[in-house]
Amino acid sequence: MTAAAPERDGHASDGAAEHIRPLIDKLDPEATGAEMHALIRELYPICRSITGDGVRRSLRILRRIAPLTLHEVPTGTVVFDWVVPREWNLRKARLVGPDGEVVVDADRLNLHVLNYSVPFRGKVRLAELEKHLHSLPSQPSLVPYRTSYYEDDWGFCLTHEQRTRLRPGEYDVLIDTSLTEGSLTYGELVVPGASADEVLVSAHCCHPSLANDNLSGMVLAASLARLLGGLPLRYTYRFLFVPGTIGSITWLALNEERARRIAHGLVVAGVGDAGRLTYKRSRRGATEIDRAVLHVLASSGQDYEVRDFSPYGYDERQYCSPGFDLAVGSLTRTPHGEYPEYHTSGDNPDLVRPDRLVDSLRRYLEVFEVLEGNRTYLNLSPKGEPQLGKRGLYGSIGGQTHAVASQMALLWLLSLSDGSHSLLDIAERSRLPFNDVHRAARTLEAAGLLRAMDRRQTDAPRGAP
């Protein structure tokens, strides 16, 4: 495969989608799944938060597979209605019981410390300690994940089973954390394409030892960046690894003009559990990214679910806020909060399945394939059907099993290519997979029956060039 030099904006890589298909075909579920899963295991023990060294270390590990840049935004920076908080770092957190036994130790599992705990050292009686303990009576064997970002507090999280066994007496609390003037760290990687219009992929990177909610998205985004790197793409792809909420708000505040170039986007999270894929529409609801994802899911032959936008969830809330109104949806597996292990110690690497990671990766690539290849063509022989037989196009495309579908794709293309239907329109209406429609369009183009038209970015936000 040779990399064609981009010609000019939006018109260069008509064949860009054809560079994505080989990536999909080459995906090795076992090797790729094992590699992604190994990375999740490596990242799992690191204590991440919305700021601090855990995020830096994690992003540096991701750099092994994709060359992302780390940005540091100082504490106190005003970002719209928010302020970048003090930087939090954990050195040690340990609770020792009346008889000297270690009750919990963050070295064993970092969920044991209330994330963003202020430092505290001292002896407290059980009644006082209880105010600082967090457990799950309904899931007594799991340790919850709790945070206290915007309120000064300290605490421990433990299983409810363990909590109910705590005996009266004096407990020795050691929470050796620091909250200092520092910075918020985020990772960014741009894979350039022919067009300045961008596809955004955003993952949150602020959760400590949680595998599906956090690490699966980070690893999937980095894997995508690696796969796309160096391809002659139509769109420019921007990958963001940001702490949830404050990170995406920070990026938007610092990149307000750049954000206007985001034509399509997806927030990636929770892509490794055994559940079906779930797509949450953008706030606008029927943009090209919404339709591309829906088409991919409908063509997947698998069970899936589609939900309307709601202003709760991951960072799509920020990208879709009315001041930006970007065409950004979220493609996950089981939605946040809807699997029992969510935000608990049960969300560990064993919950994440290598084959599901690869399945998710595949669907993301298929969505990009649609975006890359979705153009509008004009039938150059629109009066009556052109004679396919004399051009060698009758029953000539693809393998035997696809012959009928390919034939139908040719006919649909010729029928609908009146200048007002995109390939995605045609794929939707014909119920044929986008890949078949796209391939057939290229065949008709080569035969001189179709011509690609320049296409405006209909989903670019208002005010975009």
Q: Applying CB under 5 A, which residues contact Zn ion? A: 213
b/e burial code for range 8-19 (CB count within 10 A of at least 16 → b): eebbbbbebbbb
Indicate the residue type of 220.
L
Write down the least CB distance from residue 356 to Zn ion, Å. Answer: 18
Alpha helical stretches, state H, 333-402: 354-373
| Residue 146 or 234 with smaller CB distance to Zn ion | 146
Write down the least CB distance from residue 408 to Zn ion, Å. Answer: 44
Work out the burial of residue 351: count CB atoms within 10 Å of its CB; fewer than 13 is exposed, 13-18 middle, 19 or more buried: buried
| Residue 77 or 139 with smaller CB distance to Zn ion | 139
Indicate the residue type of 113.
V
133-134 and 87-96: which strand pairing? unpaired
| Residue 213 or 459 with smaller CB distance to Zn ion | 213
b/e burial code for range 273-291 (CB count within 10 A of at least 16 → b): bebebbbbbbbbeebbbbb
Structure-token match 């998710």, residue found? 360
Write down the least CB distance from residue 41 to Zn ion, Å. Answer: 19
| Residue 311 or 322 with smaller CB distance to Zn ion | 311
Can you point out the beta strands (E) in 97-182? 102-105, 120-125, 133-134, 156-157, 170-180
Write down the least CB distance from residue 344 to Zn ion, Å. Answer: 11
| Residue 213 or 273 with smaller CB distance to Zn ion | 213
| Residue 111 or 365 with smaller CB distance to Zn ion | 111
Write down the least CB distance from residue 343 to Zn ion, Å. Answer: 6
| Residue 139 or 396 with smaller CB distance to Zn ion | 139
Cα separation, 289 vs 281, in Å, equals 9
Q: Tell me the residue number closest to Zn ion, measured at CB.
A: 213
Write down the least CB distance from residue 425 to Zn ion, Å. Answer: 36
| Residue 197 or 341 with smaller CB distance to Zn ion | 341
Judge whether 255 and 29 are in contact, CB under 8 Å.
no
Cα separation, 247 vs 266, in Å, equals 16
* Backbone dihedral angles phi then psi of residue 279, each to the nearest 5 degrees: -110, 130
Write down the least CB distance from residue 201 to Zn ion, Å. Answer: 18
Q: Which residues are CB-neighbours of 456 under 8 A, at least 6 positions away?
A: none
Write down the least CB distance from residue 336 to Zn ion, Å. Answer: 6
The DSSP code for 197 is -
Distance between the two ends of the chain, CA-based, in angstroms?
32
Write down the least CB distance from residue 205 to Zn ion, Å. Answer: 11
- Nearest to residue 280, comparing CAs of 320, 244, 249? 320
Q: Using alpha carbons only, what angle is made at residue 324 by residues 293 and 185, rounded to the nearest 5 degrees? A: 90
| Residue 132 or 146 with smaller CB distance to Zn ion | 146
Write down the least CB distance from residue 240 to Zn ion, Å. Answer: 16
| Residue 14 or 213 with smaller CB distance to Zn ion | 213
Q: Is the dihedral of CA 365, 354, 352, 249 positive or negative?
A: negative
Q: Which residues are CB-neighbours of 223 under 8 A, at least 6 positions away?
A: 32, 36, 65, 66, 361
The DSSP code for 458 is T
